[in-house]
Amino acid sequence: MADIRKFLTTEGGMQTAEVDKSGFIEAGKKVQDEFAAGKGEDFQNLLESVRAAAN
């Protein structure tokens, strides 16, 4: 994937933009927490595992 991106942004002439996703991520976590509150402990543990893997 990195090779493709490198080609596209050099020889391919593609431009990219970096954006601050922190606000979106925090809002998503709030929704996830609200949803998880209605689920069992196993689901909440799974959610924490997914979040840990994303970091």
Asked whether residue 11 is domain-assigned, the answer is no
Helix axes 41-54, 22-37, angle to 10 degrees: 160
pLDDT at 41: 93
Asked whether residue 34 is domain-assigned, the answer is yes
Q: Provide the residue range defining the domain that includes 34.
A: 18-55
Asked whether residue 40 is domain-assigned, the answer is yes
Cβ distance 36 to 44 under 8 Å?
A: yes
* CA 47 – CA 34 distance, rounded (Å): 12
What is the total count of domains within the chain?
Answer: 1
Asked whether residue 8 is domain-assigned, the answer is no
pLDDT tens readout for residues 5-55 = 889 989 888 888 899 999 999 999 999 999 999 999 999 999 999 999 987
pLDDT at 33: 94
Asked whether residue 10 is domain-assigned, the answer is no
Cβ distance 36 to 21 under 8 Å?
A: no
pTM above threshold 0.85: no
Asked whether residue 42 is domain-assigned, the answer is yes
